[in-house]
């Protein structure tokens, strides 16, 4: 089984405010289905109210991010699935629920994780 990251940046979700409760419930229904299917690992959203920091090998902390991750925000979930085809199907379900396209990425295999 392979773990897949399914995610979207916050600006991709352009739904009217009055539709947000329905979108949230639709997304939760897909997550409940993933849990029932035994493929859900974890998920959530990046908390934009908390500023990111970088922690160096010596433990020192600096404010900010790497330049290429400055725009890391939005929602995500990690599913463990038997194939990329299954990941595409779950991504489509999440995209329909969230009303925006999803990015699909595959985690590299690490036998100790």
Domain residue extents for the chain:
2-46+72-106
Q: Which residues of the chain have pLDDT under 50?
A: none
Mean per-residue pLDDT over the chain, rounded: 91
Q: How many residues does the chain have?
A: 113
Architecture of the 2-46+72-106 domain: 2-Layer Sandwich (3.30)
pLDDT digits (tens, 9 = 90+) for 60-71: 999 888 887 767
d(CA 24, CA 13): 11
Longest dimension (CA), the chain: 47
- Its pTM stands at 0.84
């Amino acid at each position: 089984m392979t773990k897949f990251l399914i995610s979207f940046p916050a600006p991709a979700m352009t739904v009217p405010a009055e539709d947000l409760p329905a979108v949230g419930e639709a997304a939760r229904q897909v997550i409940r289905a993933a849990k029932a299917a035994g493929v859900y690992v974890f998920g959530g959203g990046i908390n934009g109210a908390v500023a990111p920091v970088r922690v160096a090998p010596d433990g020192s902390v600096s404010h900010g991010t790497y330049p290429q991750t400055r725009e890391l925000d939005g929602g995500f979930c990690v599913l463990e699935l038997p194939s990329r085809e299954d990941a595409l199907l779950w991504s489509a379900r999440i995209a329909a629920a969230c009303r925006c396209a999803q990015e699909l990425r595959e985690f590299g295999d690490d036998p100790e994780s």
